[in-house]
Amino acid sequence: MIPYNNLNGYLRKTYGARLNKICIDGGFTCPNRDGRCGIGGCIFCGERGAGDHIAEKIPIGTQVKTYIDRFPGDVQFIAYFQNFTNTYAPVETLRQRYDEALIDPRIKVLEIGTRPDCIDGAVAELLAEYDKKYDVWVELGLQTANDRTAEVINRGYSRDVFERAVDILLKHGVKIVVHLIVGLPGETFDDFRDTISYINRFPLFGVKIHSLYVMKGTKLERMFREGSFKPQNMEEYVDSVVYALLHIRPDLVVHRLKGDCPPDLLVAPDWNRSKDEVLGRISDKLRKAGLRQGDMYGRP
């Protein structure tokens, strides 16, 4: 048995089966790129945001249908708006684009990747409407609770903005998944520990933990080439994730424990290619200690 509350386990309990995730480019941009709060995006973000693997400039409905057609029968799906900031548009535009994706009754979950500074009451009301028919998850890219690090990575907002977004979404009954990154420039283990303590303050639904990899064409690549940034090694990453799992709530759904970079765009670290090994080491470390998620929740 996996020693943490992983997403597939949650889906099997809730829907009786694993759900396939349709990664969608909704045609959005980001306020950290168009000048509203910054230019160039976060230092680790590629030119296509989180969707470097998604085919460009294809209508949303076509993206969804092309994927679903590969799985005839009773397979169920998650419609995941992944690329850039998927609540960064007028509400009617959001409604139109979400509806373009929700074209098949086998889609059970609407998952929205976004930024806390793009959540307001009107957006939350819209998401709550969809929550009457679908399981709606909003993924907020916090990355770190340290505002000093947030400036280094050019995140574009302070953590009080995250707190306001969480409050708005919870008041509308929308589930929240928080996105964290391990090994950010200048961060120590104590910084990561503080971030875990911080997210434990909120009644979140899930957490997504990513390794920080260096992608071609990013500011982080320039920092890496210049020697001002050095990625964590695999053991450092595994130790950080194990700490996080032990100290988060036992019922928090773990959506991911490692970031994936398209192989042709990965600069470093090379171990980032070894997803199965990384996940195996995390589980092995917990099992050998006879521990599982949440065993140290509420403890230093």
- Mean pLDDT, the chain, whole residue set: 95
Sort residue 200 into left (φ over 0), alpha (ψ -120 to 50) or beta. Answer: alpha
190 part of a folded domain = yes
The confidence score (pLDDT) of residue 55 equals: 53
Structural domain count of the chain: 1
279 part of a folded domain = yes
The confidence score (pLDDT) of residue 49 equals: 46
The confidence score (pLDDT) of residue 48 equals: 54
Residue 158: count of CB within 10 angstroms of its CB = 13
The confidence score (pLDDT) of residue 274 equals: 95
The confidence score (pLDDT) of residue 254 equals: 98
More confident of the two residues 81 and 48:
81
Token pair of 106, please?
């086998």
157 part of a folded domain = yes
Do 232 and 179 form a contact (C-beta atoms < 8 A)? no
Question: 16 to each of 19, 103, 117, 175, 193, how far by Cα in Å?
Answer: 9, 22, 35, 20, 35
The confidence score (pLDDT) of residue 54 equals: 53
DSSP state of 143: E
29 part of a folded domain = yes
* Average pLDDT rounded to a whole number, residues 58-62: 96
**CATH code of residue 19:** 3.20.20.70
3-class SS of residue 268 = strand
pLDDT tens readout for residues 231-274? 999 999 999 999 999 999 999 999 999 999 999 999 999 999 99
The confidence score (pLDDT) of residue 35 equals: 78
| CA dist., res. 131 & res. 123, Å (int) | 12
Asked if the model's pLDDT at residue 209 lies above 80, the reply is yes
299 part of a folded domain = no
* Average pLDDT rounded to a whole number, residues 22-34: 93
* Average pLDDT rounded to a whole number, residues 209-238: 97
Reduced 3-state DSSP string for 120-134: CHHHHHHHHHHCCCC
Q: What beta strand segments (E) does 156-275 contain? A: 175-182, 206-211, 214-215, 253-256, 266-268
Token pair of 273, please?
């290619």
* Average pLDDT rounded to a whole number, residues 30-34: 90
Asked if the model's pLDDT at residue 281 lies above 60, the reply is yes
Do 16 and 297 form a contact (C-beta atoms < 8 A)? no
Paired with 114 in beta bridges are 140
300 part of a folded domain = no
pLDDT tens readout for residues 90-125? 999 999 999 999 999 999 999 999 999 999 999 999
- Which of 154, 141, 155, 176 has the alpha carbon at shortest distance from 259? 141
| CA dist., res. 22 & res. 13, Å (int) | 20
Note down the domain range covering 270: 7-288
Asked if the model's pLDDT at residue 17 lies above 50, the reply is yes
Dihedral sign for Cα 40, 46, 51, 57, please.
Answer: positive
298 part of a folded domain = no
Asked if the model's pLDDT at residue 57 lies above 80, the reply is no
The confidence score (pLDDT) of residue 53 equals: 45
Paired with 105 in beta bridges are none
2 part of a folded domain = no
DSSP state of 18: P
